[in-house]
A and B are shown apart, each in its own frame.
Chain A
C-alpha cells in the first residue's frame, strides 16, 4: 500500500459480513446437514485410566433393532494407519479407538453405529467390555521417573521430548549478574471449550471413489492426514470447506473422529455422522490444552536490568503424542517476551500420562509462557523493591531497536511498546487507578492492580516442527487465494479453508476491494472443496490476516496487471505509462472502462495482447514472510510478525469470600494495520474472557484415581457475563514492514496476557501477606485458604 494513499475500506467501520447469517440463526453447521441414509455414531468409553481390554461383547447391542455395527480398535487398527505424531516417536501409536489397552479414562474403546444417535447411545450402554486394570499415572513429574509406569510400554519411557537450548552466553551472564532468583509456576490443564462440539459427516461415493467430508474443522493439512490414515490417494478425500464452525480456538482438529467415521462409511456403504456430546467432547475429544510446570531462574543487576533466564518447561501431553509437544516449540519465537534479555537457556520437556490427549489451544503454548515470564518480572521487581511498571519499562525493547533479533533466532519486526503503555496509562489514569485501589483497601477489601506486557507472534509458519523433529523438513506454510472476474465483470474470491469465527470472508473481500478499489460488498467470497483448492494451511498461528490477506492482495494485484496490459494494448500505449484507477485503466490518451476490459478478456481474443490467455483470473500462493530457512544451531526465525498487548487490571475481593471481581480492565493492543476493527475487537474481548477462565476458573482436574472430575459445565467453570468485565481497548498501530498493508495477527489477542495480568492483580491484592499462588487457575478457595492460613500464622 502506498503510504500516502488513505485506505478506503481497510480499518474502516464496516460490518462483518458473516455476522448477518449467524445473528439470523442461518449458519450452516455440521448438525444442520443431512445426507440421505445417514447413520449415527455413539462411543463406548473406557472406565479406568489404564486397562487391558480382555473382551468386548457387543452381541446385546447388535441385537437391538436399528443398530448396524459395532467396531472396536482391533478391527480399525488393522485397516488404517496410525494417526500422525509430531515428534519422531513411532512407538507412541495412536488410533481412533483404543487398541489392546486404553490409556486414559474416557478413551473410546468401541463405536456403535445406529439409525439415530439416541439409539446408538442406548446400544453403546449394552456393549460389555471386560478389562484388567493396569497401573497408571497422571503427574508429569512422576512421569519423569524412569521407573514410572509407562503409558506406552513399547516407547520405553514416558518421555516424549527433552531438548535443552542454549542461546547466548547464559552461564557468563549469570556469573556477571548481581543477583539471581528462582521461581516455579504451573499452568493448569484448561482448554477452549467451543459451544459446538466437534462434528463430522463422512460419505463414500463408490462410483467416483471419493470420500466426502463435512466437518467442524480447523486443521492444517486435514485432508492429507485423513487420506494417509485411511490409505486413500490424496485426491480421493474431498473436504467441503463451506461448513460453518461454531468456535474452535485451536482445538477442532478432528482427525481421530474423521478417520473413524471415514472408515465406517466405507465399511457400511452409508453416510456416517459423528457429533460428540458434551461428555465425549470434554473427556475424550482429545482437546485439552497445555498443562505445564515452569521452573525459572533469572539473573539480573540491582539497577533492574534483566540479563539472562533459564527456563524449564515440563508439559503433560496426556496419553498420546499428537502435536502437543510442538506447543513447547512455538513460544521459542518470543521466549524473551517484549524484553531485552541477553541470553536464554530453555529446556523443553514433554511426557505422557494417563490423561486425555492435548491439542492446540489459542496461542499454541504462548499464553502459558507469557504467564511465566510476566510472573517472573513481578517477582524480580518485588525482590528489588522496584515498581513493577518502571521495571518493565526499563527492560522493554525500545522502538528504535527494531527489527530486533532475540537470542533464540527470531527477529521481531516492529513495535512501540512504550507508546502503547503510555496510552494505556493515560486512558486508565494510572495514578487515579492506584488511588482507587487504595480506597478499596481502606474499605477492608483486598484490592490489586495487575499488569502484563506480552507479544502475539503471528503469521504462523511451522518452524517449530523442524526445530523439534529433525526428520521434519518443512520450511513453508503457505496460503493460497484465487480471484476471478466473470464475464459480467463481477469479482469472486475463493478461499480454501473453513473458518471458525475469524471472519475470513470479510477479510478477503476487504483486502481485494481495497486493492481493486471496489466496494467489498460487491465481491463474492466462496469456499471450494479441498479438491478444488489451492494449497493452504488453515487459520492457525494467528496467520490469516497476514497470509490470506497477503495472498488475496497479491492475486488482486496480478488481476490489475492483466487489466492494465489489456487497457494499454487497446490504447496502443506502453503498459508502464498506464495505471489502474477505480476499476478503469488510465492511459496517456484517456481511460479504458472495466466493462471494456472484461469484454476483451472474455470475448475478444483478437483484442488481447499477443501471447495472452483469455479470461481475467489470478491465483496467488503466499509464502510466509521470513522464516523460509530450516533451523540452524537450535535457532530459527519463528513467526514473522509480533503484535503487542499491554493489560492493566484492577480487581477486588472480600478477604474471606475471596471471589475476585474485576473493577477495571484496560488493554492496549497493537496488531499493526487493522483490516476490520470489529473482528479485532471481537477477538480481543473473547481472548480476555478465555484468559479470565484460565486464570480463575477453568481446569480439567483429575482425581487420585485418574478420573476426570470436570467433564461438564457443572464442574468445568466457564466465565460468563457475570465474571466478564467491561473492557476498554486502547488502539495503537505500528505497521509491520513485512506484510501487504502493515497488518499483524490478532487471533490470539487478549488471551496471551490476561492470565498473567489477573494473576498479578491477585498477588498485588494479597501482597500484605506475601502470599504466592503459583498455580493457575487461582480458584477463590485457594485465595481464601491462603489468606486464612497467613492470618493464623501471623
Chain B
C-alpha cells in the first residue's frame, strides 16, 4: 500500500547541531524507534536493523538507508528500503531544516513510500496512525538527546 507522511517539528538545537545529529548513526540509533543497530557501509550509506511492533504484529526489519542531495545544513533526501518478517518497505523523504526562534530549528519532512507484506495486510487500518506515533517518538527522543547535549555542554 502507498503511504504519505509529512509534518514539521521544532527541535531545541541549532540547524548545524541538528544536521550533525541527523548524520550521526549513534544519534539515529538512539532516536529511531525500534532501531537496534545502524552500521555505516559507505559514505552516507547505512545498514539498519530494527525490531518493531505494529498493531497485532511484531517483527524485524532490516534495511538500507541512503542520504543524498545533501545541502548542509539545510536539506537532504533520504531513501529507505528493506524488509523483514514484518514486511517490506521502501520510501523517499526530503528533510528541510530552517532556523527558528531562540536558537532552535524547525525540521520539516515530506515523504512517500510503499509498504508490503504482513504489515500492509494486517496493519493497514492503523498504519498511518502508527507511523505518526513512531514519528512522534522519534522527535521526542531527538529532543531528549539535544536536551542532554545542552545540559552537558
Q: Which residues of A contact B (CB under 8 A)?
A: 45, 47-48, 105-106, 124-126, 128, 279, 283, 703-705, 707-712, 714-715
Q: Mark B104-129, 1 if CB is under 8 A from A, else 0.
A: 00000000001011101110110000
Q: Does B34 belong to the interface (CB within 8 Å)?
A: no
A47-B87, A279-B122 known; A712 and B56 CB under 8 Å? yes
CB nearest neighbor in B for A710: B121
24 pairs, A vs B, C-beta closer than 8 Å? A45-B118, A47-B83, A47-B88, A105-B117, A105-B121, A124-B85, A125-B85, A126-B85, A128-B62, A279-B118, A283-B121, A703-B124, A704-B2, A705-B1, A705-B116, A705-B120, A707-B1, A709-B1, A709-B121, A709-B124, A710-B121, A712-B56, A714-B122, A715-B124
- For B2, the chain A residues whose CB sits under 8 A away are 704-705
Q: Mark B39-63, 1 if CB is under 8 A from A, else 0.
A: 0000000000000000010011010
- For B114, the chain A residues whose CB sits under 8 A away are 705
- For B116, the chain A residues whose CB sits under 8 A away are 47-48, 105, 705, 707
Most buried by A among B59, B83, B122, B124: B122
Would A707 and B120 count as touching, CB distance under 8 A?
yes
User: B130 → chain A, closest Cβ, in Å?
Assistant: 14
Told that A125-B84, A707-B117 touch, could you supply 10 new A-B pairs with CB distance under 8 A? A45-B117, A47-B88, A47-B116, A106-B121, A125-B85, A126-B60, A705-B1, A707-B1, A711-B122, A712-B121
- For A45, the chain B residues whose CB sits under 8 A away are 117-118
Pick from B1, B59, B83, B118: contact of A703, CB below 8 A. B1
Q: In the bound complex, what is the Cα–Cα distance between A556 and B152 (angstroms)? A: 94
- For B118, the chain A residues whose CB sits under 8 A away are 45, 47, 279
- For A705, the chain B residues whose CB sits under 8 A away are 1-2, 114, 116, 120
Would B60 and A712 count as touching, CB distance under 8 A?
no
- For A712, the chain B residues whose CB sits under 8 A away are 56, 121-122
Would A715 and B117 count as touching, CB distance under 8 A?
no
User: B81 → chain A, closest Cβ, in Å?
Assistant: 11
User: A375 → chain B, closest Cβ, in Å?
Assistant: 31
- For B117, the chain A residues whose CB sits under 8 A away are 45, 47-48, 105, 707
Q: In the bound complex, what is the Cα–Cα distance between A126 and B62 (angstroms)? A: 11
- For A128, the chain B residues whose CB sits under 8 A away are 62
- For A709, the chain B residues whose CB sits under 8 A away are 1, 120-121, 124
The number of residues on chain B lying at the interface, defined by a beta carbon within 8 Å of a beta carbon of chain A, is 20
Q: In the bound complex, what is the Cα–Cα distance between A703 and B59 (angstroms)? A: 23
- For B121, the chain A residues whose CB sits under 8 A away are 105-106, 279, 283, 707-712
- For B87, the chain A residues whose CB sits under 8 A away are 47
CB nearest neighbor in B for A47: B117
For window 74-93 of B, CB contacts with A under 8 Å fall at 83-85, 87-88
CB nearest neighbor in B for A706: B116
- For A714, the chain B residues whose CB sits under 8 A away are 56, 122, 125
Q: In the bound complex, what is the Cα–Cα distance between A709 and B88 (angstroms)? A: 15
- For A703, the chain B residues whose CB sits under 8 A away are 1, 120, 124
- For B122, the chain A residues whose CB sits under 8 A away are 279, 711-712, 714
Q: Which residues of B contact A (CB under 8 A)?
A: 1-2, 56, 59-60, 62, 83-85, 87-88, 114, 116-118, 120-122, 124-125
- Ordered nearest first, which 3 A-B pairs have the shortest CB separation? A125-B85, A47-B117, A47-B88
CB nearest neighbor in A for B88: A47
CB nearest neighbor in B for A124: B85
- For A283, the chain B residues whose CB sits under 8 A away are 121
Q: In the bound complex, what is the Cα–Cα distance between A704 and B88 (angstroms)? A: 15
Most buried by A among B1, B56, B121: B121
Q: In the bound complex, what is the Cα–Cα distance between A48 and B114 (angstroms)? A: 11
User: A237 → chain B, closest Cβ, in Å?
Assistant: 34
CB nearest neighbor in B for A702: B121
Q: In the bound complex, what is the Cα–Cα distance between A705 and B91 (angstroms)? A: 14
User: A776 → chain B, closest Cβ, in Å?
Assistant: 22
Would A125 and B88 count as touching, CB distance under 8 A?
no
- For B1, the chain A residues whose CB sits under 8 A away are 703-705, 707, 709
User: B115 → chain A, closest Cβ, in Å?
Assistant: 8
CB nearest neighbor in B for A128: B62
Q: In the bound complex, what is the Cα–Cα distance between A715 and B59 (angstroms)? A: 21
- For A47, the chain B residues whose CB sits under 8 A away are 83, 87-88, 116-118
User: A63 → chain B, closest Cβ, in Å?
Assistant: 15
Would B125 and A125 count as touching, CB distance under 8 A?
no
CB nearest neighbor in A for B87: A47
Would A125 and B59 count as touching, CB distance under 8 A?
yes
Would B88 and A48 count as touching, CB distance under 8 A?
yes
Most buried by A among B2, B114, B118: B118
Q: In the bound complex, what is the Cα–Cα distance between A709 and B87 (angstroms)? A: 13
Q: In the bound complex, what is the Cα–Cα distance between A768 and B16 (angstroms)? A: 66
User: B62 → chain A, closest Cβ, in Å?
Assistant: 8
Q: In the bound complex, what is the Cα–Cα distance between A710 and B124 (angstroms)? A: 9
Q: In the bound complex, what is the Cα–Cα distance between A441 and B59 (angstroms)? A: 52
Q: In the bound complex, what is the Cα–Cα distance between A707 and B119 (angstroms)? A: 10
- For A105, the chain B residues whose CB sits under 8 A away are 116-117, 121
User: A354 → chain B, closest Cβ, in Å?
Assistant: 12
User: B51 → chain A, closest Cβ, in Å?
Assistant: 10
- For B83, the chain A residues whose CB sits under 8 A away are 47
Would B125 and A715 count as touching, CB distance under 8 A?
yes
CB nearest neighbor in A for B122: A712
Q: In the bound complex, what is the Cα–Cα distance between A116 and B124 (angstroms)? A: 30
- For A708, the chain B residues whose CB sits under 8 A away are 121
- For A125, the chain B residues whose CB sits under 8 A away are 59-60, 84-85
Q: In the bound complex, what is the Cα–Cα distance between A704 and B2 (angstroms)? A: 9
- For A707, the chain B residues whose CB sits under 8 A away are 1, 116-117, 120-121
User: B131 → chain A, closest Cβ, in Å?
Assistant: 16
Q: In the bound complex, what is the Cα–Cα distance between A101 and B51 (angstroms)? A: 27
Q: In the bound complex, what is the Cα–Cα distance between A106 and B124 (angstroms)? A: 16
Most buried by B among A106, A707, A710: A707
Q: In the bound complex, what is the Cα–Cα distance between A126 and B51 (angstroms)? A: 12
Q: In the bound complex, what is the Cα–Cα distance between A714 and B55 (angstroms)? A: 11
CB nearest neighbor in B for A282: B121
Q: In the bound complex, what is the Cα–Cα distance between A714 and B121 (angstroms)? A: 11
User: B129 → chain A, closest Cβ, in Å?
Assistant: 14
Q: In the bound complex, what is the Cα–Cα distance between A283 and B83 (angstroms)? A: 19
User: B47 → chain A, closest Cβ, in Å?
Assistant: 13
- For A106, the chain B residues whose CB sits under 8 A away are 121
Q: In the bound complex, what is the Cα–Cα distance between A72 and B11 (angstroms)? A: 49
User: A487 → chain B, closest Cβ, in Å?
Assistant: 58
- For B124, the chain A residues whose CB sits under 8 A away are 703, 709, 715
User: A125 → chain B, closest Cβ, in Å?
Assistant: 3
Most buried by A among B59, B60, B116: B116
Q: In the bound complex, what is the Cα–Cα distance between A714 and B125 (angstroms)? A: 9
- For B88, the chain A residues whose CB sits under 8 A away are 47-48
Q: In the bound complex, what is the Cα–Cα distance between A47 and B56 (angstroms)? A: 17
Q: In the bound complex, what is the Cα–Cα distance between A703 and B2 (angstroms)? A: 9
Q: In the bound complex, what is the Cα–Cα distance between A705 and B121 (angstroms)? A: 11
Q: In the bound complex, what is the Cα–Cα distance between A715 and B56 (angstroms)? A: 13
User: B100 → chain A, closest Cβ, in Å?
Assistant: 38
CB nearest neighbor in B for A715: B125
- For A279, the chain B residues whose CB sits under 8 A away are 118, 121-122
User: B10 → chain A, closest Cβ, in Å?
Assistant: 35
Most buried by B among A47, A283, A703, A711: A47
User: A61 → chain B, closest Cβ, in Å?
Assistant: 11
Q: In the bound complex, what is the Cα–Cα distance between A703 and B87 (angstroms)? A: 15
User: B126 → chain A, closest Cβ, in Å?
Assistant: 9
CB nearest neighbor in B for A48: B116
CB nearest neighbor in B for A711: B121
Q: In the bound complex, what is the Cα–Cα distance between A710 and B120 (angstroms)? A: 10
Most buried by A among B1, B60, B62, B120: B120
CB nearest neighbor in A for B85: A125
- For A711, the chain B residues whose CB sits under 8 A away are 121-122
User: B53 → chain A, closest Cβ, in Å?
Assistant: 13
- For B85, the chain A residues whose CB sits under 8 A away are 124-126
